[in-house]
Amino acid sequence: MRDIYSETEVYHTLDVVGKGTFGKVSKCWRGSDGELVAVKIMKMDVHRNRVIKNELKLISALSRNNLKTSHIVQFHEAFRDQTNHYLVFELLEKNLYQLQKENGFKPMAVRNIRTITCQMIKALAKLKELAIIHADLKPENIMVVDHCRHPFSIKLIDFGSASIFSEVHFVKEPYIQSR
């Protein structure tokens, strides 16, 4: 796998850990400190550039706040080259859908549902405080941090479809997110 270079850092690609509509996410080893990170890689084109610009705006708004206790993914840096945009985030283990699938979609214990729900409420409360609408809440965008060390500790990811309330409160369409 190839290395990815920002102006100040080198990321050694280890594995592709996810794919979505707008790109892929690679697990990378950061050269400066050896930390494992997630690098979201998105090809440049007219439609994707609008989505990338929106996500960067939302991540920037989030980054200006202390998110340590708000269960929202930690953002490190953004950069681009001639063909791709790169967003670097903390590496998380797996999404809630994958966790459910691994368990054969058996019902979760109420205490675990309560733990996840409380964390999601904290994340959504922080977004409300910042007047941000996520608009793509689903199990695939709720990541488990480290299931062995911190069971059912989660973080909210993927702000590509998110909006700032003041920019969409006038929309007359019946919905602004996927159904």
Give the C-alpha separation, 37 to 124, whole Å.
24
Residues designated as active site? 136
Q: Which amino acid does the sequence have at 51?
A: V
Least confident interval from 5-9, 23-27, 66-70, 167-171: 167-171
Q: What is the pLDDT of residues 26-75, one digit of tens each?
A: 999 999 999 999 999 999 888 778 888 888 899 888 888 888 889 999 99
Give the C-alpha separation, 141 to 40, whole Å.
14
Q: Which domains are present in the chain?
A: 3-90 (3.30.200.20), 94-168 (1.10.510.10)
Name the average pLDDT for the chain: 91
Q: What is the pLDDT of residues 94-141, one digit of tens each?
A: 999 999 999 999 999 999 999 999 999 999 999 999 999 999 999 999
Give Cβ neighbours of residue 31 (< 8 Å, ≥ 6 apart): 9, 10, 11, 12
Per-residue confidence at 1, pLDDT binned at 50, 70, 90?
A: confident
Give the C-alpha separation, 103 to 81, whole Å.
40
Report DSSP letters for 88-126, one per residue. EEE---EEHHHHHHHTTTPPPPHHHHHHHHHHHHHHHHH
Give the C-alpha separation, 27 to 18, whole Å.
9
- Across the range 4-10, mean pLDDT stands at 97
> CA-based angle 11:145:142, to the nearest 5?
100
Q: What is the pLDDT of residue 51?
A: 82
Q: Which two tokens stand for residue 112?
A: 């675990």
